[in-house]
Structure 1
Amino acid sequence: MFASLRFAPLFLLATSFVSAGVVVEKRSSTADIQTVFNTLKGYTDSILPQITALSAGGNASDDTVTPLINDLTAALDTATASLATLSPVEARKRQSNDDIANLVAGILTDVTNALDGLLADASSIPALGGLLAGVDTSLNQVLLGLEVLLAGVLNLVATLYVPPPFAFSHY
């Protein structure tokens, strides 16, 4: 017994060298992807009602809308960065994809509805075109990141997405 205790430090040292040289890559899951979109939804659920209220109240202007749209763009960019840290999901359950597609379609619908409301106030928001272009670019990056991680899920999102009747028709 004494002899085995004497070799214990050597065993621990050898184990630490072996484990230090092994890199274990954790596979991403649909749960990881859903977490990113739940976080994004938390941000949009905070930002978009403010934009809608400004538009509905007739208080939308460059000064009031720009910080909110910049926050929305930053939230989308953060989601893109978070998605970029994940690896594509190979084995997936249909229900998981459906849940993510529903979540993403809901976010897209909310964003479209809030921003569409601003178009009536476009004359009092000269910077609106540039702001919307930034949102468009950031949103596109989020969707590209999703498609890389869950190939084919955007087809399902497209069938679930419900834009407002005249979405962005003012352009």
Structure 2
Amino acid sequence: MLFSQLFSASLIFLTFGLAAATPTPKEAKLIKRTGTSSDIQEVFTTLKQTTDSVLPKIDSLASGGTATEAAVAPLIGELTSALNKATSSLASIDGPVSTDGGPSEQDIANLVAGIIKDVATTLNGLTGATAVPTLTLLLPGIDLALNQVLLGLDILLSGVLDLVANLLTSVAGLLRSLNLGLLLGTLGL
């Protein structure tokens, strides 16, 4: 008899104890998983898809001699918007991030450096376009947006900016000529 009462009391305690420890649906929404390097790679793959769409349009305008302020400004705006979206996407990833089972820091650094090189090369092609006198006014927005992306990346994968900087040493002069000072400062170039 005593055994059955103790067993019943234990069963009730375990049932209510487990029920109390199980998060309610409202609490369950608050539980976040830590991001992975695959999440970061997805952000930069999406950004690359956009830059691969926008940059050739700018290149075509510059090489064809048809680069005008009216034609280039919306494309620069689209590029800036894509960079800002990448920053927001990085901010939504819970970090710090592990590279276990996902792309390595070097893989991500290669992707990021490639995007920055592509952007710098395209912008450099516009510097000779006399029909875009406001280019110098548009570049600080790109500089700020690129810098914010890098800062978001650094929060998630501390130390990856050193890898990115090493990959960009060959275009540091180009970045300087474009006056991308925030980007250069963050990378230590």
Same fold (TM over 0.5): yes
Correspondent of 2:23 among 19, 23, 32: 19
Residue aligning to 1:159: 166
- 1:39-78 map, 5 Å: 39-78=46-85
Unaligned runs of 5+ in 2: 1-14, 180-189
Query: Following the alignment from structure 1 to structure 2, what is the Cα–Cα distance between the partners of residues 154 and 41?
Result: 18
TM norm structure 1: 0.83
Counterpart of 1:18, as a letter, is T
- 1:10-159 map, 5 Å: 18-20=22-24, 21-22=27-28, 23-93=30-100, 96-121=104-129, 123-159=130-166
Deviation at 1:27, TM superposition (A): 0.5
Deviation at 1:124, TM superposition (A): 1.5
TM norm structure 2: 0.75
Deviation at 1:166, TM superposition (A): 4.6
Task: Decide whether the 8 Å contact of 2:38 with 2:103 is kept in 1.
Answer: no
Deviation at 1:17, TM superposition (A): 8.9
Deviations 1:53-76 (A, max 9, x none): 110111111011001000000000
Identity %: 44
Residue aligning to 1:4: none
Deviation at 1:42, TM superposition (A): 0.4
Task: Decide whether the 8 Å contact of 1:119 with 1:168 is kept in 2.
Answer: no
Higher-RCO chain (CA-CA 8 Å, sequence separation at least 6): 1
* Corresponding residue pairs, total: 158
Deviation at 1:18, TM superposition (A): 3.1
Deviation at 1:159, TM superposition (A): 1.0
Residue 23 of structure 2: SS of its match in structure 1? helix
Task: Decide whether the 8 Å contact of 1:47 with 1:72 is kept in 2.
Answer: yes
Deviation at 1:88, TM superposition (A): 2.1
- Considering only aligned residues, what root-mean-square deviation do their CA atoms show, in Å? 2.5
Unaligned runs of 5+ in 1: 1-10
Counterpart of 1:102, as a letter, is N
